[in-house]
Amino acid sequence: MQSWNSFKRIAVRATLALALGAAVTDSATAQIGGRIRGAVGRVAGGRLSLDQLVGGSQPISTSLPDARWAVDSLDNFTPREAKRSMLQLQRTPNGGFVLQPGYWEMHDQSYCLHAGTHGPGGGDGYLYAPPKGSADDAVMSIVRNSVQHPEIEQHDIQTLLWAIVARAKFEDLSTEHKAVASRLLTPRQIASLNRSALDLVPGDQMGALLDRVPGPVRQVVQAESQLRTLLADPTASFQQLEAAAVLTGAVGMGPGSRAVPSGRWSLHPDGYYVRYLPQGYTNTIVQIWVPQGSPAVGKEYDPAAHIAVPGNTARQRLIQSGRVYGNH
């Protein structure tokens, strides 16, 4: 069995290399942000601000520069240990797993946290990053608490997550989705989400904004606006929500992208290796390797604290869950 120390040195070198790539990505993101500020300031006489629609405190802000733990040097590496189901591990109250040495796998339910982008595909790889943003606590609570509520359908959980990402008013949700929210969130969390929600933007104002916002950002702003409208409509179906949030068709590399091959490992700060193999935005095969002697032994793998971030920024970031895909 491979030892922890032999791979720790490799990971340190890879992390230093990744830092340089993150700096380049940050620069590209800053350039886009500057263009957005100029555009929004000219829209509708200033009635729509950057903070209201495309800036300020985003509910989930996790992005490629936050994925700082990739281990490029382990590409094409497969642990020697026999692969075992993660369900053999002890579960935690969070719906996570107590890690033990070995090579573990789980096919889980995953959820889209980036409306207006494309789903997984094209051989693009995904990297570990933690949830960040003004609503990260509510997002993680929904995913964690859903493990204790197998009766809640996956599409209802996804609907709540899209409502958070789009900053929709929870008080405008259907009676059914309000009931789901009350099982997965505290009254204080729901009240906080309502306070930070956006009102529906009139079509003429949104049209003026979209005309002046750069393409990749325009798609996100438009998708979030459509989601807010649909979530306030009690007759809207999940298929309509999905059509607004998940783009289809061919897609190139988004601004600030990095070439990340499918199956690239990330070294989690707790000392275990993890990689993500999305089969679609709704489900992901997660593989974890815990070398003998790793400090990760006995620590928790909490799926709700894992966002799989694509190297291609035009694709969706995916939060993982402790629910087995196909069981709900």
User: Is position 75 within any domain?
Assistant: yes
- What is the tally of helices (H) and strands (E) in the chain? 9, 13
How confident is the model at residue 168, as a pLDDT?
95
- Give the count of domains, the chain: 1
The larger pLDDT score, comparing residue 45 to residue 180, is at 180
User: Is position 72 within any domain?
Assistant: yes
User: Is position 251 within any domain?
Assistant: yes
User: Is position 326 within any domain?
Assistant: no
Q: What is the pTM assigned to this prediction?
A: 0.84
User: Is position 222 within any domain?
Assistant: yes
Residue 60 lies in domain: 4-319
pLDDT over 90 percentage in the chain: 71
User: Is position 128 within any domain?
Assistant: yes
The larger pLDDT score, comparing residue 216 to residue 301, is at 301
The SS3 call for residue 163 is helix
pLDDT over 70 percentage in the chain: 78
The SS3 call for residue 278 is strand
User: Is position 327 within any domain?
Assistant: no
How confident is the model at residue 46, as a pLDDT?
38
Contact 68, 309 (CB under 8 A): no
User: Is position 324 within any domain?
Assistant: no
How confident is the model at residue 213, as a pLDDT?
72
- d(C-alpha 131, C-alpha 134), whole Å: 10
Amino acid present at 15: T
DSSP 85-152: EGGGSPB-TTS-EE--SEEEEEEEE-EE--TTEE-S-TTB-EEEE---STTHHHHHHHHHHHTT-TTS
Residue 103 has pLDDT above 90, yes or no: yes
CA dist 151 → 45, 76, 86, 197, 305 (Å): 48, 39, 22, 28, 22
pLDDT per position as a tens digit, 238-285? 999 999 999 998 899 999 999 999 999 999 999 999 999 999 999 999
pLDDT per position as a tens digit, 304-321? 999 999 999 999 999 999
